[in-house]
Amino acid sequence: MYRKVILMLAALVAVTALATAAGAQNFPKMRELRMDRATPPQGTACIECHKQETPGIFADWAMSRHASAGITCLDCHQAEPGDQDISVDHEKYYSMGNLPMGEKQYFVPIASPVTPKDCSRCHPDEAKSYAKSKHANTIEIMWKLDPWLNGGMNSDNERKTGCFYCHGTVLKMKDGKLDPDTWPNVGVGRLNLDGSLGSCTSCHTRHRFSVMEARKPETCGQCHLGPDHPQIEIYNESKHGDIYQAFKQEYNFNSAPGAWTPGVDYRAPTCASCHMSGSGNQPTTHDVTERLSWETQAPLTVRPADFKPFPSGTDWSVERDKMKDICRQCHGQSWIDDFYTQLDTSVEEYNEVYFKPAKKTLDELYEKGLLDKTKYFDEHLEVQFYELWHHEGRRARMGTAMMAPDYAWWHGFYECKHRFNQFMEEAKHHIDSNTKAYRYPDFPNATGDPTRPEQIFGKK
């Protein structure tokens, strides 16, 4: 009798255990969150000092969500002993009697650059997503694509103040300080001394770190502008941009992350709405490579997975469906499908009518020795070909992709036609007459180091 009861109880326990295990599979992992709002004395010392020495920084931080949550300077800037980017000069402040709390007892090693690795302590998902993006890896992409760098055709300072300001530098230390050749810099692909890529303050500028700011198109327009990738100008011309300019005062830019809703918080999308924000069935992402079905900035338009400088590892049709889901929050299905038909047609025409014939002709000039490969841009035809894809060709494709007719046509395909005709006429003359192209003998400031950074590419 007892044995039967014991067996029944054992069976019941086993069934219960199995049921519990099966049920547990349906539950997500429990997250343990703890917010310590107490500010340590060292953190108070930072605040009191910066309140006096850099009141702008203090005021920005005091208005931030970080300050509301008790996040102080130390939570972001504190370094570990042995870190490569520890500020040597900052330690001197702790022996200055004229500063509030400038005493050794409050000393904490700090690093000036705050990196995605630092931010990941509180924002792990965002940092992981960002690390996969083209933004984070743009130094690698730039060096694989850009003839200015690889040919040494611009100076190191021209690169630092221009190219690297958006793309990012490879941070280095010099004499215990950040090397001025690499700093200051908040480029989206900056290689930090802790090995992480990027700078979150590219979009969430310090020390407010505002979600509102990152949602506005003006933030993206810091880098995405000009003759080669005028996304902000294209956006402003589009219906999306027109509605934004008319109604932006009604937008709720302070909605919680992941809860920014079209039709509720905003009437027409910004750059972030389509490329990053959560909407419909799509979660928020910090990987701007997602939702793309074409690489419209590449010389030859290809699918993101086929973009050799940085293959996406994504399926373009899956990513297109994601973007269509975003569009569907405001547009009907026929509108969306017809828009993508237009985009695909523009891509095909650019590839087949303009780029491929020009590239074939360029290759023929090189093969026959009529153009010299030693340097790029020191011959007019090289400049013509470069601007065909890097300027007019991009504007035509991007103007179509974001529905800006002036950029699709007048700044785009209209200019493509003229550039193509000029290139082909000059090329034909050299081929028919078997004459070499004229080389500019005094190309200015072609002094840049063409060596690819070994921190990104490894040693040769």
> Quick check: 1 pLDDT over 70?
no
Residue 71 has what pLDDT? 93
Give the tens place of pLDDT for each residue, 184-203: 999 999 999 999 999 999 99
CA 123/CA 28 separation, integer angstroms: 18
pLDDT band at 17 (very low <50, low <70, confident <90, very high): low
Give the tens place of pLDDT for each residue, 400-426: 999 999 999 999 999 999 999 999 999
Pick the CATH number of 289-453 from 3.40.50.10610, 3.30.450.30, 3.20.20.410, 1.20.850.10: 1.20.850.10
pTM above 0.85? yes
> Quick check: 214 pLDDT over 60?
yes
> Quick check: 131 pLDDT over 50?
yes
Residue 7 has what pLDDT? 47
> Quick check: 293 pLDDT over 50?
yes
Give the tens place of pLDDT for each residue, 348-387: 999 999 999 999 999 999 999 999 999 999 999 999 999 9
Residue 163 has what pLDDT? 96
Q: What is the mean pLDDT of residues 248-255?
A: 96
> Quick check: 388 pLDDT over 70?
yes
Determine if residue 375 is left, alpha or beta; phi over 0 gives left, psi from -120 to 50 gives alpha, anything else beta.
beta
Residue 295 has what pLDDT? 98
Token pair recorded at residue 41? 């004395």
Determine if residue 249 is left, alpha or beta; phi over 0 gives left, psi from -120 to 50 gives alpha, anything else beta.
alpha
Over the chain, what is the mean pLDDT?
A: 92
User: CB-based contacts of 49: which residues, under 8 Å, 6+ apart?
Assistant: 93, 99, 100, 101, 102
Residue 258 has what pLDDT? 86
pLDDT band at 14 (very low <50, low <70, confident <90, very high): low
Residue 5 has what pLDDT? 46
> Quick check: 159 pLDDT over 70?
yes
> Quick check: 300 pLDDT over 90?
yes
**Which residue ranges does the chain devote to CATH 1.20.850.10?**
289-453
pLDDT band at 328 (very low <50, low <70, confident <90, very high): very high
User: CB-based contacts of 252: which residues, under 8 Å, 6+ apart?
Assistant: 260, 264, 265, 266
pLDDT band at 176 (very low <50, low <70, confident <90, very high): confident
